[in-house]
Structure 1
Amino acid sequence: MNGNQDHPEQLLEINGVELCAQTFGDPAAPALLLIGGAEASMDWWDDEFCERLAAGGRHVIRYDTRDTGRSTTFPPGAPPYGSDALLDDAVGLLDALGIEQAAHIVGVSMGGGIAQHLAVHHPGRVASLTLIATSPGGPGNPDRPDLPPMSAELAKRFAEGGEEAPDWSDREAVIAYYTDGERTFAGTIPVDEARLRRVVGRAWDRSPSLASAQNHWQLTGGEPVRARLGEIAVPTLVLHGTADPLLPYGHGEALAREIPQARLVPLKGMGHQMPPPELWDVAIAEILSVSGGECP
């Protein structure tokens, strides 16, 4: 990760919690909000990735969702909020930053689910939508037989209980834990372990309770919006890895079918993860294109 001297972090009071946010680019440019996945602080949106989007004429915003990074955290295992709170936080963040016009929304994995809800429930706040490594329904749900199940290897790992949680006070143990998890969800593009260690280490350094991020897996509430995806009336980009073991490519195809103005772009070899640097040229160009920006 690059230094952040030119991009100071802000702590903002939103919905009874503090959210930590950081911006890149000209504040007068159209806003582009990045929403991370479960457990993910804003550190997972790489500095260079954000800077390249900003160079395309966008005011880029990344933030720590509650229970990650420098945002308010709650005791592990006892989140006093539901999934709707994460949607309200995204809207509240735009309000707190004084963004009155519709913003371009980019969400990955769980963040892609939040982005879908944002487009359905707050259509006036969304200028374009980019959905990365996400789904209209989720993995392995027998009520959604049209969506492909997770890979057999991943299902077996989950059935066996996965990897034991680390000692969250041990920086090296946490880095090893997340590195192993990234390998589990990666596709055919080799994992850059040195880069991953930097990202996780930075997240650990910025988080008073990294264990609290596990609260995201316990959230309930929020009505499914799949039946309402046809209401989305903004340009939509679906970026999906061709080697995603959790949400196979058919999930991206389903989103592209069910959202009227959606365009599906395959990310070759990517698994269930943030786009790795090998795919940034494609991902950044496509995000800028759907949001009306120019690729620098």
Structure 2
Amino acid sequence: MVTETMMPVNGIEVCLETFGERTEPPLLLLAGDAGSMDWWDDEFCRRLAAGGRFVIRYDHRDTGRSTAFPPGTPYSGVDLMNDALGVLDALGVPAAHLVGFALGGALAQRLALEHPQRVLSLTLIATTAGDGDGTPPIQATGTTAVAVRTVPAIAVPVRTAAGEIDWSDRKSAVAGLVAEARARGGPFTPDEHQLRRLAERVYDRSADLAAGRINHHNAGYGPPIRHRLGEITVPTLVLHGTLDERFPAEHPEELAAAIPEARLTWLDGVGHESPPPAVWNLVLAAMFA
């Protein structure tokens, strides 16, 4: 069964959707920055639910049907984390498996540190250690603390056919979203027709794409947590594409080294993107191992 609904969370309205039975262990999907829940493929969610999970996806504030704010509205990555926590509260979920992409992975790490009793496991996809603040994280190994090398993220250029993107114009915004997905993807990225259908859905469900992108960029990741990653105790899986140019190979290696007993699984031919269908079998096998 699939349901979509609006719920009050932290003084705003959040749109969320569930897949599967409430009696199964809950799994919360956290999208990337300025990303609505649409970027979690419907069929991927159904396959997660078929694996015995009560799957929850939601629109971050300023994305999809959730509350939208004017450009420049101040909030932080901590507020975005608290929204995720509020989604669990709204559904009466005491603890969940967290699956986060990019910014969603950073929020999942913060949740595991700030509210460890609410987290059953972590799956961190196409993300980086902590918050990208430039401070080397500390890996606890017995009684010895080891500083892990810090690496910068890389800004991936967006190729568009028509210069500047007018995010208020449907045609321009859809073209921009498609161009971004293609620039950051790889050979398994859905074709242009599929991406266009997804981009149209994202645009049609969004109140103000431009404002959301500005506000999420300004929000950032929140206060530094890299030095605390060694405190995470839940089972952690790091999934990373071999063609991810935003967070090259050093990022997942650093993240897996910083979190005790974390597993790193490479997704060959995948870029900075939610897992495409070509690697779903590998992803699901790793998640349910």
- Distance in 2, Cα, partners of 1:274 & 1:190: 9
Task: Return the offset for 1:212.
Answer: 2.3
| Equivalence for 1:234 | 234
What SS does structure 1 have at the residue aligned with 2:3? coil
- Distance in 2, Cα, partners of 1:235 & 1:219: 28
In 2 relative to 1, CA 98–16 (structure 1 residues): closer, same or farther, beyond 3 Å? same
- Distance in 2, Cα, partners of 1:268 & 1:104: 24
In 2 relative to 1, CA 91–165 (structure 1 residues): closer, same or farther, beyond 3 Å? farther
Task: Return the offset for 1:188.
Answer: 4.4
| Equivalence for 2:143 | none
The runs of 4+ residues in structure 1 deviating greater than 6 Å are none
TM-score by length of 1: 0.87
Q: Is the 8 A contact 2:131 2:226 kept in 1?
A: no
Corresponding residue to 2:24 among 12, 29, 33: 29
| Equivalence for 2:140 | none
What SS does structure 1 have at the residue aligned with 2:264? strand
Q: How many aligned positions are there?
A: 275
Q: Is the 8 A contact 1:64 1:71 kept in 2?
A: yes
Task: Return the offset for 1:187.
Answer: 3.3
TM-score by length of 2: 0.89
What SS does structure 2 have at the residue aligned with 1:9? strand
Corresponding residue to 1:108 among 101, 106, 117: 101
Q: Is the 8 A contact 1:12 1:96 kept in 2?
A: yes
Judge which range, 203-212 or 31-40, deviates more.
203-212
Task: Return the offset for 1:280.
Answer: 1.1
- Distance in 2, Cα, partners of 1:269 & 1:112: 20
Structure 1 residues without counterparts, runs of 5 or longer: 1-5, 290-296
Corresponding residue to 1:91 among 85, 90, 94: 85
Structure 2 residues without counterparts, runs of 5 or longer: 137-147
Task: Return the offset for 1:273.
Answer: 1.1
| Equivalence for 1:15 | 10
| Equivalence for 1:131 | 124
Q: Is the 8 A contact 2:236 2:262 kept in 1?
A: yes
- Distance in 2, Cα, partners of 1:137 & 1:250: 14
What SS does structure 1 have at the residue aligned with 2:120? strand
Structure 1 segment 138-153 matched on structure 2, within 5 A: 146-150=149-153
Corresponding residue to 2:69 among 74, 79, 94: 74
Corresponding residue to 2:110 among 117, 123, 131: 117
Q: Is the 8 A contact 1:31 1:104 kept in 2?
A: yes
| Percent of matched pairs sharing the same residue | 50
**What one-letter code is carried by the residue in structure 1 that aligns with 2:149?**
D
Task: Return the offset for 1:149.
Answer: 4.2
- Distance in 2, Cα, partners of 1:149 & 1:273: 18
**What one-letter code is carried by the residue in structure 2 that aligns with 1:51?**
R
**What one-letter code is carried by the residue in structure 1 that aligns with 2:247?**
L
What SS does structure 2 have at the residue aligned with 1:22? strand
